[in-house]
Structure 1
Amino acid sequence: MTDRLTSNALGTQTLQGLRVLVMEDRSLIAAKVVEALHEVGCIPVGPAATLQAGLEFAQRPDVCIDVAVLDIDLRGSLVYPLAEMLRLRGVPLLFLTGYGTNAIPTTWSQVVRVEKPFESTTFIEALISIVSGEADQVSCTVPIGRPAVEGMEQGWDIIRHSRNMVMEARLLRAPHGTDKER
């Protein structure tokens, strides 16, 4: 069974033409996100792999962003300053991350989160829920620090690296257009 998306299957007509900022530092995962967005008629902005690049996108007057898909950890920098900037502008957010619920600061815990590895249909359903206003999200007004206790940072780095390697292996094994393993 294929994971190809159709506007009839998921009601993705609500996503047609939306400009979606994609913040992901793993190129294979970013490519999967962009492919899923194209399949439902979204216009990807990016992808960008660093916090600095995301902040630059958000500050450019010629770049319009309707919704944002943010990996929380971008090459060791947390995405919260960018998320805060976008929330203050009223841009709906979705975290696409390997971070579990307990690793996300309480202030950001209400933002819709899709865990990696992910199925494209799950990702698109979550995107539809935030665009349609069906998902509750908390608005933040202060930057948040590191989610993990200082002594645990090295452990989180090892876990993220392992998770990313598993995700990339799954993407490389999957036939084009599907998320299923062989």
Structure 2
Amino acid sequence: MAVVLKGLRVLVVEDRGLIAGKITRALETAECVPVGPASTLKAGFDLLTSEGDGLGAAVLDIDLRGELVYPLAEALRARCVPMIFVTGFAASAIPEPWTTVHHISKPFRDTKLLTCLKAALSGRPAQPAPSPAVLSDAYSRAVATVLETRNLIEETRILLPKRGAPEQN
């Protein structure tokens, strides 16, 4: 069965503006209708409420500046809305109830995002990562810190003017 993206209303929950823009543009290119983006859990719930049963899928960042998206994912699952995670977390860091949700790692290519979304819409669960060793809490915090630092560095590189380029007023 071919998965059709045209006209699909897709909730976008991502706290990084540049990444949210990339997701939105990729969805628009595929003729989807992005709903959002929402940068907080509350904003995600507000969009879910306002959309009612109109959502066809969701693209969710797991960590919204320290706030985990799982309560919203649970509400989406209750409504049978297919979802994917776009995250900086390793597959082994995704907790057990969510290991079968399709996910891609940041940074990502638009084609990978759309392929993952089609896989989620097909109804087939993702293959969970091979049984990982249990991560210690300290290790998980260290990984989160490294990812946060990487995201800040990437955003700074994008926002800084090139050397020698005249500043714009």
TM-score range, shorter chain: 0.7 to 0.9
Count, aligned residues: 153
Structure 1 range deviating more: 80-89 or 51-60:
51-60
Instruction: Give the distance between the partners of 1:82 and 1:148, measured in 2 at CA.
Output: 24
Report 1:22-171 matches (<5 A). Answer: 22-60=12-50, 64-133=54-123, 135-136=124-125, 149-152=136-139, 154-165=141-152, 167-168=154-155
> CA-atom RMSD, angstroms?
2.6
Letter in 2 for 1:157: A
The answer to whether the 8 A contact 1:68-1:94 is kept is yes
**TM-score, length of structure 1 as denominator length:** 0.74
Larger Rg over CA atoms = 2
Greater relative contact order (CA < 8 Å, ≥ 6 in sequence):
1
The answer to whether the 8 A contact 1:72-1:96 is kept is yes
Instruction: Give the distance between the partners of 1:23 and 1:56, measured in 2 at CA.
Output: 11
Instruction: Give the distance between the partners of 2:114 and 2:32, measured in 1 at CA.
Output: 11
The answer to whether the 8 A contact 1:18-1:42 is kept is yes
